[in-house]
């Protein structure tokens, strides 16, 4: 049942991977190009998420005013908050939507690269998934050390970058800060352990994907900083106008 549902996503991704392989004739390089295409295709969703978070920060003072004013009336508070969102033309789900859209794609990618022959048709791909690449003799078999370690390190760096981006939110929620601190170490270790059991092709996708994400995070940080400065300028202008 799981693979039937995921197949709707995995099969088109399989066609893309097969198409790339036909021109490159190297399964390892095809996975790298495939990973880059997927990451760049998802990047607008990350930007949308950053903009939604920045917009939420801009509305935060008004939300706090409502929370103080209707502290003892939860129903009215919810109604007034939704009224504020409508008047400001802000969708509170805007930050969650990119994440929700990414999850089925990520699951489809994992299913595809873990069991490529379930979703890719063509005799050429039967041999392709068993090709060697760099030091790896068979991409359908796990690499026990180098790739899993690379996947873990890149995941840790990417996680630290993301954590730094969300520092303000974490500081406001001590429980969230504690959980993120624990996940910063637990998740990369889990990736290392999983990488030692996954086909090398899948671990290449994850390690290279995280490397690309590290590069993209630098631009996201720049965009986030720029939006934060714009928000602070708007709030300062409103304070001066109020005086």
pLDDT at 241: 67
CA–CA distance, 120 with 215 (Å, rounded to integer): 30
pTM of the model: 0.75
On whether residue 146 sits in a domain, the answer given is: yes
Least confident range of 168-172, 196-200, 203-207: 168-172
On whether residue 53 sits in a domain, the answer given is: yes
- CA 42 to chain centroid, in Å, comes to 8
pLDDT at 6: 75
pLDDT at 235: 65
CA–CA distance, 163 with 183 (Å, rounded to integer): 10
Number of structural domains (the chain) is 1
Residue 81 CB coordination number (10 Å): 17
pLDDT at 113: 75
3-class SS of residue 133: strand
Domain that holds residue 123: 2-131+141-242
For residues 30 and 219, which has the higher predicted lDDT (pLDDT)?
30
On whether residue 40 sits in a domain, the answer given is: yes
Record the tokens describing residue 84, joined without a space: 């504020």
On whether residue 18 sits in a domain, the answer given is: yes
Range among 3-12, 92-101, 164-173, 202-211 rated most confident: 202-211
On whether residue 136 sits in a domain, the answer given is: no
For residues 230 and 216, which has the higher predicted lDDT (pLDDT)?
216
Flag whether pLDDT at 32 surpasses 50: yes
Contacts of 31 (CB under 8 A, 6+ apart): 17, 113, 139, 201, 204, 205, 208
Flag whether pLDDT at 224 surpasses 90: no
């Amino acid at each position: 049942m799981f693979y039937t549902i995921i197949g709707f996503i995995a099969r088109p991704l399989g066609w893309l991977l097969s198409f790339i392989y036909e021109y490159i004739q190297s399964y390892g390089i095809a996975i790298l190009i495939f990973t880059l295409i997927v990451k760049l295709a998802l990047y607008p969703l990350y930007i949308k998420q950053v903009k939604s978070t920045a917009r939420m920060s801009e509305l935060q003072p008004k939300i706090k005013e409502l929370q103080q004013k209707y502290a003892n009336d939860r129903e009215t508070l919810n109604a007034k908050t939704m009224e504020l969102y409508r008047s400001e033309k802000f969708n509170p789900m805007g930050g969650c939507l990119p994440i929700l859209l990414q999850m089925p794609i990520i699951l489809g990618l994992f299913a595809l690269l873990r069991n490529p022959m379930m979703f890719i048709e063509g005799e050429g791909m039967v041999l392709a998934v068993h090709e060697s690449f760099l030091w790896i003799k068979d991409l359908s078999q796990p690499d026990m050390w180098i790739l899993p370690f690379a996947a873990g390190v890149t995941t840790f760096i990417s996680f630290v970058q993301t954590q730094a981006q969300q520092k303000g939110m974490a500081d406001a929620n001590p429980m969230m800060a504690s959980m993120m601190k624990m996940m910063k170490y637990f998740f990369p270790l889990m990736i290392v352990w999983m990488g030692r059991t996954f086909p090398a092709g899948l671990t290449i996708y994850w390690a290279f994907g995280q490397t690309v994400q590290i590069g993209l995070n630098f631009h996201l940080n720049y965009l986030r900083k720029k939006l934060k400065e714009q928000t602070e300028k708007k709030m300062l202008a409103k304070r001066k106008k109020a005086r």
